[in-house]
Amino acid sequence: MDLKRLDEILDARGEPRFRAGQVWEWLAGGARTYAEMTNLPQTLREELDADLPISTLDPVREVKSVDGTRKALFETVDGRPIEAVLMSYRDGRRSLCLSSQSGCPLTCNFCATGRMAFGRNLTESEILDQALHFRRQGSVNHVVFMGMGEPLMNLDAVLAACERLPAVGVSTAHTTISTVGWVPGIERLATEGPRVRLALSLHAAEGDVRSGLMPVNDRYPIPEVIEACLRWREARNRRVYIEYLMLAGVNDAPDQAVVLSEVLKPHDAFKVNLIPFNPTPGEFTGSSPEAIAGFRDTLIAHGVPATVRLTRGRDIEAACGQLAAGRAA
Ligand code: SAH
């Protein structure tokens, strides 16, 4: 819901201040219609129903994976595509992957979103409406900003959305912002907003390899990014998750694991998540399961905690930008 417009409508009617909170509580609890919001005056419910759509997003398509992962493609009012994914796990975790931008201005060359044109930053309401879409289908308890876009380039809206997520069921400790290593944003996260978790998409420990994958590395090189992460870790007293995409022949050699373990010091500041590549059109091939397991073992032998991420939703093109990119093609 356009929460700014909601405030304007309530103000224009001279409604008491607590009304916006009431509407938000209903939405956060999964309400689908104003008719359900029984503590609002009938005339207000009718006016809102006529003037303010319940969501800023129009669901265009929803696909369900054999593993239960659901992916939704939405369109904003100005026709921008965005997508969000819900992953359900046996242990009860229901994790939402949200987008912060339509498209992305960064051009990581393994990423489907990076190959699309950049649209624009999403508003706080558009970020929350992705979560509310899935909340209407059931409970949710984790959020990762690993959908389309670079969240630290839209940090005001992302943090405003994070403030509201606990009402939807997602505590701040269960909210993770993932970044390419946008240093000014990492610095702000150390002191501003709720104490969310931080994930860094590193993908290579050697500067030339990383620049080849992620042009943003020329602007914010690895040492600067790692220093910013260590300052965040100092301020927030939490480990930084390192995302490391496993690409055959690019960044998966055993000696590259050793270099990575050198870059990630002190070791107790970081935890590495090795990510199997979700194939996108282009030059890359994912590493073999053996190469991934070997890389993990080398990291562990060098003192760096490391795990391999479960792949979910591969049959529904659930990797960053794949569904929206398919629509555009
Ligand atoms: N811009 C932020 C968040 C969005 S991308 C960031 O880069 O962290 C979320 C994660 O998905 C990143 O680690 C990104 O590198 C990864 N990713 C992108 N394309 C992928 C693919 N095809 N397979 C697996 N992971 C991918």
* Mean pLDDT, residues 146-157: 97
> Which of 71, 106, 111 has most ligand 1 atoms within 8 Å of its beta carbon, as the pocket-test mutant?
111
CATH of domain 56-327: 3.20.20.70
* Mean pLDDT, residues 292-315: 92
pLDDT band per the 50, 70, 90 thresholds, residue 322: low
pLDDT digit string (tens) for 72-124? 999 999 999 999 999 999 999 999 999 999 999 999 999 998 888 899 999 99
pLDDT above 70: residue 300: yes
The pLDDT of residue 244 is 98
pLDDT above 50: residue 169: yes
Ligand 1 atom with least separation from CA of 286: 23
- Rounded to two decimals, what is the model's pTM? 0.96
Ligand 1 atom with least separation from CA of 178: 8
Please say if 320 is a catalytic residue.
yes
Mean pLDDT across the chain:
95
Decide whether any atom of ligand 1 lies within 6 Å of the 244 Cβ: no
pLDDT > 90: percent of the chain = 88
pLDDT above 70: residue 284: yes
Give the relative orientation of helices 289-301 and 254-263 as an angle to the nearest 10 degrees.
Answer: 40
Sequence ranges of the domains in the chain: 1-54, 56-327
1-54 placed in CATH 1.10.150: yes
The yes-or-no answer to whether 1-54 and 56-327 have a common fold is no
pLDDT above 80: residue 131: yes
Q: How many residues does the chain have?
A: 329
pLDDT above 70: residue 324: no
pLDDT above 90: residue 328: no
Q: How far apart are CA 30 and CA 69, in angstroms?
A: 19
The more confident residue out of 67 and 284 is: 284
> Which of 178, 210, 277, 311 has most ligand 1 atoms within 8 Å of its beta carbon, as the pocket-test mutant?
178
The pLDDT of residue 287 is 97
Decide whether any atom of ligand 1 lies within 6 Å of the 278 Cβ: yes
Decide whether any atom of ligand 1 lies within 6 Å of the 213 Cβ: no
Strands 70-75, 120-121: pairing kind: unpaired
pLDDT above 70: residue 25: yes
Decide whether any atom of ligand 1 lies within 6 Å of the 201 Cβ: yes
CA of 317 to the centre of ligand 1 (A): 13
CA of 180 to the centre of ligand 1 (A): 9
pLDDT digit string (tens) for 188-199? 999 999 999 999
Backbone angles phi, psi at 56, to 5 degrees: -80, -10
